[in-house]
Amino acid sequence: MELLQYHIKCRKNEVNQAVLLPGDIERANYIGTNFFRDSEKIIENREFHICNGRYEDKPVAVCSTGIGCMSAAVAIEELTNIGCKYFIRVRTCGSLSSQINPGDIIIATGAVRGDGASKEYIPIEYPAVADYRTVTALRNRAKKDSANYNLGIIRTHDAFYMESPFAFGDYKKRVAIWAEAGTLAIENESSTLFVIGSLKKVQVGAILVAAGNLITGEKGTKDELQKSIDKAITIASGTLVDLQKREEKRI
Amino acid sequence: MHHLQIKPGEIGEFVIMPGDPNLCHLIAEHFENPQLVAQNREYVTYTGKYKGLTVSATSTGMGCPSAAIALEELIMSGAKYLIRLGTTGALQKNISLGDIIIPSSAVRLEGTSVEYIPIEFPAIADIDIIDDLVKATQEKNLKPHIGIIMSHDAFYKGSVFAEPDFLKKEQVWIDSNVLSVENESSALFIIGYLRKVKVGSILTAVANHLTREVIIDEEKINPLFHQMTDICLEAFTKKATTLF
- Count of helices and strands (H, E) across chain B: 7, 11
pLDDT over 70 at B242, yes or no: no
ipTM: 0.90
Question: What backbone phi and psi angles, to 5 degrees, belong to A197?
Answer: -60, -45
Q: CA-CA distance, A47 to A73, in Å (whole number)?
A: 13
Domains, chain B, ranges and CATH?
Answer: 14-243 (3.40.50.1580)
B2 touches chain A (CB under 8 A): no
Residue B221 has a pLDDT of 96
Residue B157 has a pLDDT of 85
Mean pLDDT of B103-121: 97
Q: How far is A182 from chain B (nearest CA, A)?
A: 6
Mean pLDDT of B179-205: 98
Interface A–B counts its CB contacts (< 8 A) at 69
Residue B240 has a pLDDT of 62
Question: What backbone phi and psi angles, to 5 degrees, belong to A90?
Answer: -135, 120
Per-residue pLDDT of chain A (251 residues; tens, 9 = 90+): 468 999 999 999 999 999 999 999 999 999 999 999 999 999 999 999 999 999 999 999 999 999 999 999 999 999 999 999 999 999 999 999 999 999 999 999 999 999 999 999 999 999 999 999 999 999 999 999 999 999 999 999 999 999 988 888 999 999 999 999 999 999 999 999 999 999 999 999 999 999 999 999 999 899 999 999 999 999 999 999 999 999 887 75
Residues 6 or more apart whose CB falls under 8 angstroms from that of B190 comprise: B108, B113, B116, B117, B121, B123
Q: Is the dihedral of CA B133, B134, B140, B142 positive or negative?
A: positive
**Residues forming beta bridges with residue A110, ordered by sequence position:** A129, A153
Contacting B residues, span 78-107, partner chain A, CB-CB under 8 Å: 104-107
Residue B244 has a pLDDT of 47
B199 touches chain A (CB under 8 A): no
Residue A251 has a pLDDT of 56
Q: How confident is residue B30, by pLDDT bands cut at 50, 70 and 90?
A: very high
**Residues forming beta bridges with residue B199, ordered by sequence position:** B82
A122 touches chain B (CB under 8 A): yes
User: Which of A112, A132, A198 has its CB closest to that of B120?
Assistant: A112
Residues 6 or more apart whose CB falls under 8 angstroms from that of B172 comprise: A122, A123
Q: Does the domain formed by A18-250 have CATH 3.90.120.10?
A: no
Are A67 and A21 in contact by the 8 Å Cβ rule? The answer is no
User: Where exactly are the structural domains of chain A?
Assistant: 18-250
For residue A37, count CB atoms less than 10 angstroms from its CB and return exposed for 0-12, middle for 13-18, buried for 19 or more.
Answer: exposed
Are B111 and B231 in contact by the 8 Å Cβ rule? The answer is no
- Chain A residues in contact with B197 by the CB 8 A cut-off are none
3-class secondary structure, B127: helix
Interchain proximity A127–B196, CB inside 8 Å: no
pLDDT over 80 at B147, yes or no: yes
Interface test with B, best of A120, A129, A143, A150 (most B CBs within 10 A): A129
